[in-house]
Amino acid sequence: MTEPAISIAGLHKHYGDLHAVDGIDLEIPRGEVFALLGPNGAGKSTTVEILEGFRKRTAGDVSVLGSDPQHAPRHWRTRVGVMLQGTSEHGALTAAESLRYAASLYPDPRDVDETLEAVGLTEKAGAKPATLSGGQRRRLDVALAVIGRPELVFLDEPTTGFDPEARRQFWTLIDGLRGDGTTILLTTHYLDEADHLADRIGIIAAGRMVALDTPAGLRSRASAARVTWTEGGTRHVEETATPTALLRDLLARHDGEITGLEVVHPSLEDVYLQLIDHAANGTPETEEASA
């Protein structure tokens, strides 16, 4: 199919004078892992809830798997997996029972035991939500979102509360879904997670899309690298857009090794913070990619 999984044009959501979403345009092709980033209150959760069909928009055109989520038919829900931010500690069903019930609602669900293993909950299959830790409940939420083998999955801050090992297991699960051709839209506050998982990243600030690019494309926006070295007993730090030229000069005046030499290129987090700062101060990027 050539039709995008998600298509947004001129999306607005207003609450009186508050413009929570202020004119977003976006297309996400099928099979892409897309990360939507932004500070709290930026409008990313509102945008996702509109795409999920849980919130009405003020204006704009939205298509998700070929349907307007605000008026989508019931069958549309079987094609979409949703993981919400909030979790519930209460429930009469065990983790395995919850997944079996959810699986019964879909025409071609994943295997329950395999899904439990994929999210690291095999040993907690017989446990009820009240006995699970916060991180384990988030894993169950992920499992419930993907059990129906959906074409499109919305994951809202999926690894909040995960320990490092659980986060890596989740990344493996996402890589597996990507291999199956599943489209994934996730929000996260972990920049390394977005960098590792996403084909493209959109950054929202004050209800507007301030950047849209691949992780590598975003990192390339920060031109300065930080070069540090020790010379004559003094530690030197210099930021430069031409680190190779600086290293050439350093090597020319040193006969041997350069003590404490380090070259650090800007991370995705550095670029993200710079973009958010520009948006907060009304100085948008002069060159916004729209891959």
Task: For residue range 90-113, list pLDDT tens digits in order.
Answer: 678 999 999 999 999 999 999 999
Stated as kind and residue range, the H or E segment containing 27 is strand 18-28
* Cβ neighbours for 251, distance < 8 A, ≥ 6 positions apart: 258
Mean pLDDT computed over every residue of the chain: 88
Beta pairing class for 59-64 and 80-83: unpaired
Stated as kind and residue range, the H or E segment containing 191 is helix 191-197
- pLDDT given at position 183: 97
Is the CB of residue 21 less than 8 Å from the CB of residue 47?
yes
- The CATH code belonging to domain 6-216 is 3.40.50.300
Task: For residue range 207-248, list pLDDT tens digits in order.
Answer: 999 999 999 999 888 768 889 999 888 999 988 888 889 899
- For the residues 282-290, what does the mean pLDDT come to? 49
- For the beta sheet containing 6-15, the strands, ordered from the edge strand earlier in sequence to the opposite edge, are 18-28, 6-15, 59-64
Q: Indicate if the pLDDT at residue 6 is higher than 90.
A: yes
Task: For residue range 162-196, list pLDDT tens digits in order.
Answer: 788 888 888 888 888 888 899 999 999 899 999 99
Band of residue 281 on the pLDDT scale cut at 50, 70, 90:
confident
* Cβ neighbours for 289, distance < 8 A, ≥ 6 positions apart: 211, 212, 213, 217, 218
> What pairs with residue 239 in β-bridges?
226
Take residue 240 and report the two structure tokens written for it: 């430069």
Domains of the chain, residue spans? 6-216, 223-265
